[in-house]
Amino acid sequence: MVVRVQEADFEVGTELAALRRDDPQIGALTAFVGLVREMNEGAGVSEMTLEHYPGMTERALQEIVGEACRRWAVLDALVIHRVGRLLPTEQIVLVAVVGVHRGETFAACQFIIDTLKTRAPFWKREVTPAGGRWVDARAADDQAAERWQE
Amino acid sequence: MSRWRDFDIKGGQLKILYFASLREALGCGGEDVALPAGVADIAGLMAFLAARDEKWQVLRTRRNLRYAVNQEMARLDTPVAADDEVAFFPPVTGG
């Protein structure tokens, strides 16, 4: 179970290989990569800056991944989230889960990204032709996280 | 170590942090505050800060403000004590 918050980009293939470690028990790997879009709320986005709460961010991610590993029979999970300045098409976040079967890895991966979006202390500030603006939390994200509540 | 013990004797300090749009609105990323007498929870601390400085009224007027105590999400009635780290911030938008 690895959680990393970093400015540097990540290489998905390298990260997934490290997560698998050629473990022959693993029959399924689900990965999600979040990317910077060129449009948001009807405006062009030329760049984005991600701020976070050092310390709490890592704790929150550990808790979310730990909860996923308890709820579903998975073997391991990984979250890498970038901070700092990012441009359209750049990678923001990688969530990956390995397990014996795909049902559990799909569910755990979706739970982690949905929960991260409402519980991990990151904030996006984007630059549009009208200037800089903080991205508003989306009701759809709250709903996506709520459906996982037991 | 001895310096922190001195703070304890005086009643202790709170480390307060502000993030994102709230940090910008306040023009301040954080501050150390002596734990005010009578402040026992998040609601009390917000009332104290808002009364102290007009600009900090934003803590009362901002919709959907979030708070954390010692890096755990908190509620208005979450206790606040000496040496705690308290953070105020808008809803999160990562991922």
> Residue B11 — very low, low, confident or very high, per pLDDT cuts 50/70/90?
low
Note the ipTM here: 0.92
pLDDT number for residue B64: 92
Does the pLDDT at position B52 exceed 90? yes
DSSP B13-34: EEEEEE-HHHHHHHT-SEEEEE
Alpha helices in B27-79 (DSSP H): 42-52, 58-61
Question: A4-16: string of b/e by CB count within 10 Å (b at 16+)?
Answer: ebeeeebeeeebe
Q: Is B21 on the interface with A (CB under 8 A)?
A: yes
**CA of A45, closest CA in chain B: separation in Å?**
16
Q: One digit per residue, pLDDT tens: chain A, 150 residues?
A: 999 999 999 999 999 999 999 999 999 999 999 999 999 989 999 999 999 999 999 999 999 999 999 999 999 999 999 999 999 999 999 999 999 999 999 999 999 999 999 999 999 999 999 999 999 998 889 999 999 988
Task: Please report residues of A whose CB lies closer than 8 A to that of B18.
Answer: none
Q: Give the mean pLDDT of B50-62.
A: 94
d(CA B52, CA B56): 8
d(CA A72, CA A150): 13
Beta-carbon-side half-sphere exposure of residue A127 (alpha carbons within 13 Å): 8
- Whole-number mean pLDDT of chain B? 90
**CA of A97, closest CA in chain B: separation in Å?**
16
User: Do residues A121 and A48 touch, judged by C-beta distance below 8 A?
Assistant: no
User: Do residues A98 and A112 touch, judged by C-beta distance below 8 A?
Assistant: no
For A142, the token pair is 């709250």
Beta-carbon-side half-sphere exposure of residue B38 (alpha carbons within 13 Å): 5
pLDDT number for residue B12: 86
Which of A35, A36, A56 to probe the B interface (max B CBs under 10 A)?
A: A56
Show the 3-state SS of A126-145: EEECCEEEECCCCHHHHHHH
* Burial of residue A106, with CB atoms counted within 10 A of its CB: 0-12 exposed, 13-18 middle, 19 or more buried: middle
Task: Please report residues of A whose CB lies closer than 8 A to that of B91.
Answer: 118, 136-137
pLDDT number for residue B2: 41
B20, A51: Cβ pair inside 8 Å? yes
Q: Which residues contact B64 (CB under 8 A, 6 or more apart)?
A: A137, B90, B91
SS3 label, residue B43: helix
